[in-house]
Structure 1
Amino acid sequence: MQLIDIGANLTHDSFDHDRDAVLQRARDAGVVQMVVTGASREHSPQALELARAHPGELFATAGVHPHHAAEYTAECDAEMRELHAHPEVVAVGECGLDYFRDFSPRPAQRRAFELQLQVAADTRKPLFLHQRDAHADFLAIMREFEGKLGPAVVHCFTGTREELFDYLDRDWHVGITGWLCDERRGQHLRGLVPNIPANRLMIETDAPYLLPRTLSPKPKDRRNEPAFLPHIVEELARDRGEDAAVAAANATATTRAFFGLPEAPLKASGGGY
């Protein structure tokens, strides 16, 4: 089976010493393609650079996470638009709202989100969205762009049943991570994932973050990486009452359709189920 990780922060400095080995371990695990998350003014160009170095295997998003919203100036907007001129950049984001940490002032978060939604409206590229503890404002801002946007995925979904159905009612996609495997914070997700239609469900590691707590053995450095995506799929499939191969195939087909990805190049093929 072929797997696609829709959210891997491969520009993170924790990968600087062994990035090629990380990519090879992913291939060996059956992860044939990855979308490298661009989440800041600094890292979005780096995500594109990685994608261009691995054509057909790596792709990129370009955007500014709400944690960095204060950096979204007019110059930053121009830089993002320039990045989106490249075909390797397949989505706008990571963008959205995060009221849990409030690393940027909320007015700055809302303005940066609105400006990036305008980029998505202008380019018609898919949206790679982030929302935490800001559901009402998130929906209100998205509503302002109703009818102007292409497809959207709420990445790393960790929210409530109400939030999930609000997203599904709007035909948005949902990204599931190893948060599902966290018995402290993610237990509620196990009862929610069966409600996500197969053509709306995608999978991701959010590496190097969110190492699945049910993974055994765990890496000594506790760093998550795309090679662990099959473990997430197995947990997800069990909660959905599906065979893992079925869950993997459905997620891969949904991801290819959402981002407009080609078939994986032969050099990227690896193991899997």
Structure 2
Amino acid sequence: MRGADPAARAAWYLESERHSWRVPHRPPHPRMRHYVARDYEGSTEQIGSHRLLLPATTSVTLVVKVLDSPFRPPEFVRGPADAFHLLDGVCAPAYLQIMLTPLGAYQLLGVPLDELRGRVADLRDVLGPDSAPFADRVRDAPTWRQRFAIVDEVLGGRAAAATRPSPEVARAWSILVASGGRERIGRIAAEVGWSHKHLTRRFTTQVGLAPKAAARVIRFGRAVNQLGRGAPSLARLAAESGYADQAHLTRDFRSLAGVTPGDFLTRLRAATRPAAAASAR
């Protein structure tokens, strides 16, 4: 169920002054790897006022503020999105971030993911009373290592009791990811043995985006990955990522990232500097 979503790694600061940024990280426990899209991350930063530009993503991001800020709830979830978002207001000075695969989020959060599409939701509205003890334990832990261990413990417990996604939806998701979003939805429906309409309804509930929208975001994510690795030209990037031409690529980047491919690359490099990463401690 694990699927690459490179675009979800990028959140860029606009109109900001960044003074420091440290990102401790740690891989999830092996039993959690099917649910989590990337390493657990912590962040400690001091920045001025800014806006955040968040690209479209199939992933679901769970954030627990270790130190609070006046913007957004103390713990919240950002759902899957098929368009870019601009968020106003400073980040918390310290927070823990868990990026879940869509089917992992469907299981661990226990809600239809289409209810979270394009939203930033209070975790208390998603998990109910279970969210407070979890978030308080994370905040009370003295080290990032201990906070990450709490995430493994709590989410692992939820995973053990979770309702599994439909095998047909899981198969459809894996086909879309493996094809880079190129496979036709009708062919996927035929392979899993469902009608196009039935697949769309069940897939949207469990992944958060309709199959066609998810395919578009997956294709965008593949282009982001290639762009970050140094694609030789935008025309070749478009061809290798499944776009009709360079103009099609640029239109999708403007719609899904809010910037052109060239601007995206500049921001991506700034957001993923090696100096920003540190091991958990």
Q: Same fold (TM over 0.5)?
A: no
| Pair member with larger Rg | 2
TM-score (norm 2): 0.31
TM-score (norm 1): 0.31
